[in-house]
Amino acid sequence: MSETITTTATGAKSSVEPDYTFLPTAGLLKAIERFESGMPKYGRDNWRKGLNDPTYLQGRLAHAIGHLFLLRDALEKLERKESLSPKELDDHIGAVLWFGMFAACHHSIQVLDTERAVQAESRRPRSPRTATGPLRMNLAGIGPHAFEPNESNQLLCAHCGECWENHVTR
């Protein structure tokens, strides 16, 4: 979702927020009920622990697919005018909605993590390489330092043992 900036009649700029009136209240309530129903067994916000866990995501997807099939069966029962517990139908709807919200959070975090990694990489200082002897620098606020490459080719401070990147990003 891209951000849209508008200018009011007075000249004030403002971002336009999403129109939450599109969200059906009944659907939100079913999703909330599903989140709440897991609290006694798993604890509040347990699902957040699985946001970066592909195994957890796959397990939740399989669980949601199972509820989709059960929801289909329940809806067919309703069409045939067979008895069906409203709680049963609500549980399947809530589980599917829960997964949709979980998957959206998972995706958002993956996108943010990728963006952050790209930004961090672009800001990461590059280690100066030296072919002969230690690299000598006078670091502001720290004083003169000598850096020598270790076996992993990282430049380590001869004074304190920290790597070069730690010194220049303080």
pTM: 0.57
Residue 141 pLDDT level (bands cut at 50, 70, 90): very low
List the single range of 51-55, 103-107, 150-154 with lowest mean pLDDT: 150-154
Q: Are 126 and 163 in contact (CB under 8 A)?
A: no
Which residues 6+ apart lie within 8 Å of 146 measured at CB? Answer: 134, 135, 136, 137, 157, 158, 159
Residue from 27, 26, 60, 32 nearest 44 by CA: 32
| CA diameter of the chain | 86
What are 55-64's pLDDT values in tens digits? 998 999 999 9
CA angle 119, 124, 126 (to 5 degrees): 145
Helices (H) and strands (E) in the chain, counts: 4, 5
> What is the C-alpha to C-alpha distance for residues 120 and 123, in angstroms, rounded to an integer?
5
Confidence (pLDDT) at 4: 75
Res 50: pLDDT: 87
| Cα–Cα distance for residue pair 111/107, rounded to 1 Å | 6
Q: Which helix (H) or strand (E) holds 114?
A: helix 86-123
